[in-house]
Amino acid sequence: MRSVIRRIAIVGLCIVLCTIFSSVSYAARPTVIKVAHDLSPDPYDPTHGFATVFKNYVESRTGGKYVVEIYPSSVLGKERERLELTRAGAIHVDLASVGGLSQLYQPAILLNTPFTYKSDKIVSAVLKSDFVKWMFEDMRKKTGLRSICVYEMGGLSCLTNNLRPISTPADMKSIKFRAMDDSQVAMFKALGANAVPMAWSETYTGLQTGVVQGQVNPISAIISVKLYEVQKYITLSRTLLGSHWVVVNDKWYSGLPADVRKIVDDGFYYAREAAAGLTQIVQAQGLDTLKKNGMEITALTDAQWEEFAKLGCPAVLDWAKTKMDPAIVDRFMDTVKKVEKEVESK
C-alpha cells in the first residue's frame, strides 16, 4: 500500500512540477519534438501518461521554446515503421514495445521472457540494472538508435480468451492466441496452445472475428483498447513484463544544447515515475473495470504459476539462444536471479 501511495504521490508531483517550475526564457520560435507511440490517448494509460508528463515538463521548463507533439495509436506507422522513422530523424522519440524493438535489436526481447518475474519489485530493479544499461549501449552501437530508459506500462501481463477460465497449462490446449513475435510463438506452443502472429493494431478485430481467441497483455492495454468487449475470461497470470523502451534519434539527442538535454533527461525521469504510478493505479482499479464489463477473473496461485513457468520460460530461453549469443541470454537470467536474492533479502 505504501508503494501505491508513493507512486500516486509521484504522479501528482509530476503534474504540479509541470505547472510551477520556473521557465527558461527563450525568444526563438518553438522547436518541435515529435513523440510517437502505439497505444490510445487515454490519460490513464501509462504510455500516454508518460508522453503527457514528458510534454508538460519539457514545455514548462523551456518556457515554450520546445513544443512536444504526441502521436498516439500508431498514427505515424506500425512498430517497425516508427523505429525506422526515428532512426531517420522524422520522429524524435518513439515509445517502442519490446516486441517491436526486437525486430531491430534482438536482445531486447529478453525482457519479455515469460514467467520470469515473481513481483513488481523485481521488475523495477531489473529495468534499472547494469545489464539493461549495457543493452542500451550495445543497441546504440549496432542500430544507431539510443534508448534512455525502459518504463512499466501496466504491470505483468495477463492471459485473456473467449473459451474457458485458465488456471493450468492444460487449460491452454488448442486455444488460438495472438502472438506478438516469435518468442511468444515458442511460449504458446510450449504451453499447448496455438499461436497466430498478429500486429497489435489488428488484435481487437482478430479477436472480434475469431481469427484468434485469446491474447496476453497488461491490464492497462486491455482496458485502453477495450478488449473486454471481445474477451470473456482473464487470468492474472503474471506472464510477461509490460514495458516500453524510450528510443530516441541519437543525432538529435546528442545535438541538443546541454541545458535542454538536461531538461529532456529530467522529463524522461519524471515521466517514467509517473508511468510506474499509473501502472499501480491501473492494477488497483482495473479489475473492477473488467468485472463491470463482464470479464470473469482467475488468479493463479504461486504453485500454479510455477507450473506455467516450468514450461514457458525454458522454451523461450532455448529459442533466444538460437537468435543471439547464448552468453547474453545467460547474463540476463543471472541478472534476474541476482535481483531476486537482493529483493528477497530486504
Q: Are residues 31 and 85 located together in one domain of the fold? A: yes
pLDDT over threshold 60, residue 19: no
343 belongs to a structural domain? no
Grid cell locating 62 = 523551456
Q: Are residues 169 and 265 located together in one domain of the fold? A: no
Q: Are residues 20 and 49 located together in one domain of the fold? A: yes
The tally of domains found in the chain comes to 2
262 belongs to a structural domain? yes
Residue 4 confidence (pLDDT): 46
Per the structure, the complete domain to which residue 199 belongs is given by 158-239+286-313
Q: Are residues 103 and 204 located together in one domain of the fold? A: no
Provide DSSP, 83-134.
HHHHHHTS-SEEEEEHHHHTTT-GGGGGGG-TT--SSHHHHHHHHTSHHHHH
Q: Are residues 130 and 277 located together in one domain of the fold? A: yes
307 belongs to a structural domain? yes
Q: Are residues 138 and 252 located together in one domain of the fold? A: yes
- SS3 label, residue 30: coil
Q: Are residues 192 and 271 located together in one domain of the fold? A: no
Question: Amino acid identity of 21?
Answer: F
H-helix or E-strand spanning residue 207:
helix 203-209
Each residue's pLDDT tens digit, 238-259: 999 989 999 999 999 999 999 9
Each residue's pLDDT tens digit, 196-211: 999 888 999 999 999 9
Q: Are residues 93 and 107 located together in one domain of the fold? A: yes
Identify the burial level of 134 via C-beta atoms within 10 angstroms of its C-beta, where 0-12 means exposed, 13-18 middle and 19 or more buried: middle
- The domain that holds 179 is classified in CATH as 3.40.190.170
Mean pLDDT of 235-239: 96
Handedness of CA 335, 128, 247, 7 (dihedral sign): positive
338 belongs to a structural domain? no
pTM: predicted TM-score of the whole model, two decimal places = 0.85
Strand partners of residue 145: 249
Each residue's pLDDT tens digit, 162-172: 999 999 999 99
182 belongs to a structural domain? yes
Residue 12 confidence (pLDDT): 53
Residue 246 confidence (pLDDT): 98
Q: Are residues 138 and 184 located together in one domain of the fold? A: no
Residue 291 CB contacts under 8 Å (≥ 6 apart), including other chains:
297
Q: Are residues 179 and 303 located together in one domain of the fold? A: yes
Residue 16 confidence (pLDDT): 45
Binned at pLDDT 50, 70 and 90, residue 8 comes out as: very low
Residue 26 confidence (pLDDT): 42
Strands (E), the chain: 31-36, 66-71, 93-97, 145-156, 158-161, 176-179, 194-197, 214-217, 233-236, 241-249, 296-299
168 belongs to a structural domain? yes
324 belongs to a structural domain? no
Q: What percent of the chain has pLDDT over 70?
A: 92
28 belongs to a structural domain? yes
Grid cell locating 330 = 545467460
Each residue's pLDDT tens digit, 66-104: 999 999 999 999 999 999 999 999 999 999 999 889 999
Q: Which is more confident, 132 or 9?
A: 132
Q: Are residues 37 and 129 located together in one domain of the fold? A: yes
Q: Are residues 145 and 49 located together in one domain of the fold? A: yes
